[in-house]
Amino acid sequence: MPPLSFEERGSSGLYTQLATTFDERLDSLATVDYGIHFIGQSTAWRNGDVKNYRTTFYRTGKTPEEPTDEELVVNIIGEVAREGSELSARGNAWLNPGQKIVDKNSVRDVLVLIQPTMATEQLEALYENQIRTIEDMDSKIVLPLPRASKVTHCVRPVDEGTSIVITMPVKFKRSLTAAASGESTTRPEPQLKGLYEPRLLPDYDPSIFSLRRAMLAQQDIRDTDEKLIAPWETQVALHPGTLVSVEATLIVYSFGPASASTVFQIQGRRIKILERSPLPLTQSPLPLEEPLSSVEQAVTTPSTSYGTQSSSKLPPSPSRTDAAVKKPRQAAGPSVEPNPASTSAITTPNQPATSRSLAKRAAGHKNK
């Protein structure tokens, strides 16, 4: 069955169902506020003589000043952006000429989300309030070190609007019982917490890898049927236009004089594909001589929205002409260069939107 087109996501009621569900969830990023529902606590670690800090966020207790020991876990909804994600074998690794990725390197995938294309007014407001939660926290939090001049934000402007940047868990983990053989093997069935031969990645380049005991780690990424997606199919399954929800935590790193930087991070734990992308897969990362997997076959089925377009340039995002006026937004901080379920009743698209997200937007601020 081909994926829904962007228009069909709205007309079918999918966008309305998702917006209503996420707007009622207490673990939605859009429905929590810093200083009311969660607060940060900092712990220090030393790198030689330099003291650095990690700020973790916890749910508040009886009063906002009394955090519980329950770490804040939020759910985020968005669409995979047309550019910016780093899902290749090397992930977010920045290498100097001649440098290789070794066991000790912390390589992670990065997923960039944008507001869903042709979002309904309710879903648009929900996405906006996710950003407002981060911006509000950014403006209010008092960090243990003065905010450095070099700041990496997890909410960034892109051509398609304002993006939410998700940093995934470590991609390669050391194994005490297995070691990279240096030879490709048959691709096994994915298993949660599974470790695999790194060469199974379709774009694995031995000239930039020198792994000994580090193995390719299975991430908790699920398709629309809740089946695990293997690491070698991630680029295909999460290609631009895919609608996802992400379970994540919030972290702020404050580095001392040696690095002098502040890093705001959304760390993804679990990704669920809500709807496959209707955009054509213009360039498969898998070797051409290998047969298409079931995931690849699904996403390469052209949508009726765009026919059989095969241009290497993705079609532009359709724009809404009836979008409501945006509510005021707080600044996310100085502009910098990027640095290396509950269910609810489904309402029809014709019903008036009375969500909390819309109410907040009308008020110009989040208020619960």
Main-chain dihedrals φ then ψ at residue 40, nearest 5 degrees: -95, 150
Asked whether the CA dihedral 128, 129, 134, 137 is positive or negative, the reply is positive
Residue 364 CA to residue 366 CA, distance in Å, equals: 7
The answer to whether residue 130 scores a pLDDT higher than 70 is yes
pLDDT-wise least confident of 70-74, 149-153, 162-166, 272-276: 149-153
The pLDDT assigned to 308 comes to 27
The pLDDT assigned to 277 comes to 97
The pLDDT assigned to 96 comes to 86
Q: What mean pLDDT comes out for the span 162-186?
A: 81
The pLDDT assigned to 245 comes to 98
Question: Looking up tokens 């939020």, which residue turns up?
Answer: 74
Backbone dihedral region of 327: left (phi > 0), alpha (psi from -120 to 50 degrees) or beta?
A: beta
Q: pLDDT above 90 covers what percent of the chain? A: 62
Residue 228 CA to residue 222 CA, distance in Å, equals: 5
pLDDT-wise least confident of 53-67, 150-164, 282-296, 313-327: 313-327
Asked whether the CA dihedral 155, 201, 294, 248 is positive or negative, the reply is negative
Cβ–Cβ under 8 Å, residues 295 and 237: yes
The answer to whether residue 60 scores a pLDDT higher than 80 is yes
pLDDT tier for residue 175 given thresholds of 50, 70 and 90:
confident
The answer to whether residue 39 scores a pLDDT higher than 90 is yes
Task: Please name which of 51, 253, 260, 254 lies closest in space to residue 150, comparing C-alpha atoms.
Answer: 260
Q: What is the dihedral of CA 61, 65, 69, 72, to 10 degrees?
A: 90
Q: What mean pLDDT comes out for the span 263-267?
A: 97
Distance of CA 79 to the CA centre of its chain: 9
Domain locations in the chain?
A: 6-79+110-167+233-363
Q: What mean pLDDT comes out for the span 215-232?
A: 97
The answer to whether residue 322 scores a pLDDT higher than 80 is no
Q: pLDDT above 70 covers what percent of the chain? A: 74
Tokens read off for 237:
């399954």
The pLDDT assigned to 361 comes to 56
DSSP 199: G
- Please provide the average confidence, as pLDDT, over all residues in the chain: 80
275-307 pLDDT per residue, tens: 999 999 865 444 423 333 333 333 333 333 322
DSSP per position, 305-367: TTTT---SSPPPPP--SSPPPPPP----SS----------PPPPTTSPP--HHHHHHHHTS--
The pLDDT assigned to 257 comes to 84
pLDDT-wise least confident of 113-127, 144-158, 229-243, 312-326: 312-326
The pLDDT assigned to 311 comes to 27
Q: Which residue has the higher pLDDT, 84 or 281?
A: 84
Question: Looking up tokens 């379920």, which residue turns up?
Answer: 341
The answer to whether residue 181 scores a pLDDT higher than 70 is no
Q: What mean pLDDT comes out for the span 100-112?
A: 95
What is the helix (H) or strand (E) element at residue 7, kind and residue range?
Answer: helix 6-11
The pLDDT assigned to 298 comes to 37
Main-chain dihedrals φ then ψ at residue 140, nearest 5 degrees: -105, -25
The pLDDT assigned to 244 comes to 98
The pLDDT assigned to 296 comes to 35
Q: Which residue has the higher pLDDT, 287 or 69?
A: 69
The answer to whether residue 264 scores a pLDDT higher than 80 is yes
The pLDDT assigned to 318 comes to 32
Q: What mean pLDDT comes out for the span 319-334?
A: 33
Residue 332 CA to residue 93 CA, distance in Å, equals: 25
